[in-house]
Structure 1
Amino acid sequence: MPAPRNPFKHAIAKGDLQLGCWLGLADPYIAEISAGAGFDWLLIDGEHAPNDLRSIVAQLQVLAARDSHAVVRPPIGETWIIKQLLDAGAQTLLIPMVESAAQAKDLVDAVTYPPHGVRGVGSALARASDFAAIGDYLTTARDEICLLAQVENQKGMVALDDILKVDGIDGVFIGPSDLAADMGFIGQAGASGVKTAVLGAIEKIVASGKAAGILTLDQDLQTSCRKLGATFIATEIDVTLFARNMRKASSDGRKLLLTEQSAV
């Protein structure tokens, strides 16, 4: 029996839109609610959210029962943590701060078993192989692993052409917030120069034949990226969505009740 099919990987390879949401609340209950919302993929964030390996595993277990595909972002693209996340059952990884083709090649090696890569062989202990129930896991796992490189600073943008030539990278994700900061526009991801750079990168990624992705709450930018052919687009973040609506609920309730009190 081969490794489970990765629907996200095959969808972006065909150019089918995959709509996503960021999960930063680091809780399986929230992940379960989000998985029932209709998103094609949900990003479990280990870089800027308070996740560790066990909390990531708990969310992977919840998402496995739903149709939303789990993408995991580690805090850094090191071989040791990539190995742990793959063994835990993650099939799609988004690696932050990719800045060179050499780094991208190292990432490909990290998700590939020897003799072609350096991923440690411990699948008998792993959730990824259904604890050794998937007999052909070692020989089929790589075909279903989706490796996404996140380019999010000027160094990475300069190296983008070379990164796109690396075999084994399935897609490149542009990070507007970090890019904006590196360009001198910290907190201003919507600055015109940043948007121009982002759209230029998306266009270049699509032209290379690899999948292009982005996270942005800017609906105009979402639409522009999609028109250029971006295939995996995250349009919301659970943290900001929850915070925004909680604040609104508090404000609306206070206004209503204060108005009622004044009328008495």
Structure 2
Amino acid sequence: MPRLKQKLADPSLRLSSVLCTIPSATVTQALAASGIDNVIIDLEHGAVDYGSAHAMIAATAGTECAPLVRVAQNETNQVKRVLDLGAEGIVFPMIRTADDARNAVASLKYAPEGTRGFGPFLAQSRWQTNLTDYPAQEQDQLVCCLLVETAEAVENIEEICAVPGIDVLIPAQFDLSTDLGVMGQFDHPIFQAALARVEAAGHAAGLPLGNVAMSRDHADTLFARGYRLIANFDILWLRQKAAEMNSWCEDQK
């Protein structure tokens, strides 16, 4: 079956993702079985710990759903630990400069190309290798996803996009609008100008772009703008569906 890195490299494919903030292998397994292309297990926000992350990564086995992990910081030790749990890639927050991007790429690779320490004792089982074969079989399959969340990143976006080894770029609209001083105002000219610059740089560099889609119409709008990856949130889906069911009872309350 094709791995996520190969899917991202195919410009004809549109891809789906769910950001998992619920620390549950059961939820992750159901999402993976739905046919989505990847989950992003969130160690930056929410209640997921390393034990939960390991179980959630393992719950994707037997499907085409790639288990990515969003780390709390672009820091080599955090990256190493979740890759050793079996993650297929990393979502890096708060990338501000080309040096940040280069450090992110390097943390996915063993020496001499990178800075990752050796210890895939759990990852070898997730990917059905042995300890010594894991680097040769899995290193080149790992996905590097960068989040653009600050005004500084927008100012440096062309240099960031020029760094080799990036697989996908996501302008994170909530953090980016906040850093720009227009929190949640996604139609504001300041935000729209920043977003357009990120999109233009990503397209010029041939990088797949991802973003959050809250509806089918929203997804179609993103696809029309050249986005390849759409994402949503497990916790928001859960609350939305519960509220929808509750609305059926409102006349009796």
Tell me what 1:184 maps to. 181
Deviations 1:119-170 (A, max 9, x none): 10123xx222228626422234321111111111110111110111111112
Counterpart for residue 84 of structure 2:
87
Give the whole-Å Cα distance in 1 for the aligned partners of 2:201 and 2:4. Answer: 21
* Aligned mate of 1:47, from 44, 48, 73: 44
Larger radius of gyration: 1
Distance, in Å, in 1 between the alignment partners of 2:189 and 2:62 is: 41
1:81 shift after superposition: 0.7
* Inter-CA distance 53–6: structure 2 relative to 1 (3 Å threshold): farther
Q: Deviations over 1:187-228 (max 9, x none)?
A: 333435424432442232022112211124265553333223
Does the CA-based 8 Å contact 1:74-1:81 persist in structure 2? yes
2:234 alignment partner, one of 226, 235, 238: 238
Structure 2: 5+ residue runs without aligned partners? Answer: none
The number of residue pairs the alignment matches comes to: 250
RMSD, matched Cα:
2.1
User: Shift in Å at residue 27 of structure 1?
Assistant: 1.2
Task: Give the partner amino acid of 1:142.
Answer: Q
What is the CA deviation profile of residues 37-91 of structure 1, one whole-angstrom value per residue up to 9, with x for unaligned ones?
2322221111112111111111011111333222211111110010001111101
Alignment of 1:30-69 (within 5 A): 30-69=27-66
TM-score, normalisation: structure 1: 0.87
- Structure-1 separation of matches of 2:82 and 2:104: 13
Please give the residue correspondences for 1:41-190 in structure 2 after superposition, counting only pairs within 5 Å. 41-123=38-120, 126-130=121-125, 133=130, 135-190=132-187
Q: Which runs of 5+ in 1 are unaligned?
A: 259-264
Higher mean C-alpha displacement, 126-135 vs 86-95 = 126-135
Instruction: Check 1:6–1:156 CA distance in 2 against 1; reply closer, same or farther (3 A cut).
Output: farther
1:10 lines up with 2:6 in the alignment? yes
Closer, same or farther in 2 for the Cα pair 1:14/1:97, shift >3 Å? same
Displacement, 1:183?
1.4
- 1:252 pairs with 2:248: yes
Distance 2:214 2:185 in 1: 13
Q: 1:102 to 1:217 in 2, by over 3 A?
A: same
TM norm structure 2: 0.90
Whether 1:25 aligns to 2:22 is yes
Q: Distance in 2 between matches of 1:165 and 1:151?
A: 14
Aligned partners of 2:16 and 2:229 also within 8 Å: yes
Q: Distance in 2 between matches of 1:224 and 1:199?
A: 14
